[in-house]
Structure 1
Amino acid sequence: MKPSASRSKSSARCPRCGNAFDCAMHAQPSECWCREMPPLPADRLDPRSRCLCPECLAAEIAQAAQAGHGADLS
């Protein structure tokens, strides 16, 4: 059996780390877990990319926040 055959319809695979996670953006976008996280700046978004898992999205948000603080210090 293929690994994808056992995943639910809300399952996705993170393009960064490869981990499987539940994603509701295609089924019910207003109920996805990612809506409770801080938004990424527009320049960090790639509309061609797939959703990140919770861990990778949190890391990307942290990197964006650090980059923003560094810009304020100059």
Structure 2
Amino acid sequence: MTASAVPATGMKSARCPRCGNSFDCGRNTEPFDCWCKSLPALPANEIDPRGRCLCPECLVAAAAPAAGAPPKGGNLLR
């Protein structure tokens, strides 16, 4: 992807490692300004420091057990 293809916000197109859906990821924005910062943090056992970012739906599903809510959707990969 060329610099001109990156949206003005610094978001980049990414693919979720759990479901394969495409989404916009702001992980490398300066200053950090991604949609994910408005969601609850994942529990430590769900974080893979070598892993890639999750799409909004998978991130919500992964955070749900920590919040005491039943997970939405199918099985989560680990």
- TM-score norm. by structure 2 comes to 0.67
| CA distance in structure 2 between the aligned counterparts of 1:29 and 1:64, rounded to whole angstroms | 27
1:15 pairs with one of 14, 17, 21:
17
| CA distance in structure 2 between the aligned counterparts of 1:29 and 1:22, rounded to whole angstroms | 16
Corresponding residue for residue 33 of structure 1: 35
Shift of 1:29: 5.6
Amino acid at match of 1:23: C
Shift of 1:65: 2.8
1:61 pairs with one of 40, 60, 63:
63
> Structure 1: which 4+ aligned runs deviate by more than 4 Å?
none
Q: Higher RCO, 1 or 2 (CA under 8 Å, sep at least 6)?
A: 1
Cα RMSD after superposing both structures: 2.2
Q: Write 1 or 2 for the structure with the bigger share of helix.
A: 1
Q: 1:29 to 1:56 in 2, by over 3 A?
A: farther
| CA distance in structure 1 between the aligned counterparts of 2:30 and 2:56, rounded to whole angstroms | 17
Q: 1:54 to 1:29 in 2, by over 3 A?
A: farther
Q: Structure 1: which 5+ residue stretches go unaligned?
A: 68-74
Shift of 1:24: 0.7
Q: Structure 2: which 5+ residue stretches go unaligned?
A: 7-11, 70-78
More displaced, 40-49 or 53-62?
Answer: 40-49
- TM-score norm. by structure 1 comes to 0.70
| CA distance in structure 2 between the aligned counterparts of 1:28 and 1:58, rounded to whole angstroms | 24
